[in-house]
Amino acid sequence: ANGWYNPDFRSASDFARATLLAHAAGLQPSRLSAEQNLVAQLAAAWRGDGQYGAAGLNGAMFAMMALAQEPVPQAVLDKTVALIRANQHDDGGWNYGLVTSPADAASPSDADMTGAGVAALCSAGVPTTDPAIQDALAFLRGKLEDSGGFTTPWYGTNADTNAWVVSGLNACGIDPQSPEWTTSSGNTPVDFLISLQRPTGANAGSFR
């Protein structure tokens, strides 16, 4: 493989997400079968600079969330921590791309990647009192709508964004239903997610 994709053309973030799903299901991702070791596949995408697979923050953040649950040297995680810190925007959040200029740093962040960034940092052991996390949380609070959803410039409020933010809060040991994350109407990010769950029909249980 060339470090971006394995021979079957699955990206590093695919293996990171599969690793997270394996953990959630109580499976050992390094021993799913004799042929499949998700941790090794993800490690093979390591670029040496804190990134995994294709250049950008998406793969790095998801890889760190996954590998932080494995016996990975802290020095490896620390490289991705440094990468995430270096690419934080002026508004306290992150987006998919890397910060390569002052104009990039001044551009708006999005709640999706900021939720993932918070989760990645806390998964690697960064305390919630760290200024990078505090700035990101302040950014997210500024995106919290009265409905309990987090607004995005492309899709408004939606289940995906809320799920990313709730995952980030949980990774940091922050209750997404605490008073700090409850709106004036009494809604929380979890309430918003529940409101999007389909109660009936062929897709009952899923989130629209």
Q: What is the residue whose two structure tokens read 């305390």?
A: 127
What is the pLDDT at residue 3? 41
Whether residue 2 is predicted with pLDDT greater than 60 in this model: the reply is no
Q: Partners of 197 in the beta sheet?
A: 207
Indicate whether 1 pLDDT > 50.
Answer: no
Q: pLDDT averaged over the chain? A: 91
Degrees to nearest 5, angle at CA 206 with 94 and 114: 5
Alpha-carbon gap, residue 76 to 141, rounded angstroms:
31
In 49-176, which ranges are continuous DSSP H helix? 57-67, 74-86, 102-106, 111-123, 131-143, 159-171
pLDDT score, position 203: 93
In tens, the pLDDT along 28-77 reads 998 888 778 899 988 888 888 999 988 889 899 999 999 999 988 999 99
The per-type count for the chain, helices as H runs and strands as E runs, is 9, 0
Global pTM exceeds 0.85: yes
CA dihedral of 173, 179, 180, 182, whole degrees rounded to 10: 110
Distance, in Å, from the CA atom of 110 to the CA atom of 126, rounded to the nearest integer, reads: 21
Residue in 26, 193, 20 with CA at minimum distance from that of residue 120: 20
pLDDT given for residue 34 in this prediction: 76
Which carries the bigger pLDDT value, residue 7 or residue 145?
145
What are the distances in angstroms from CA 79 to CA 51, 84, 103? Answer: 8, 9, 24
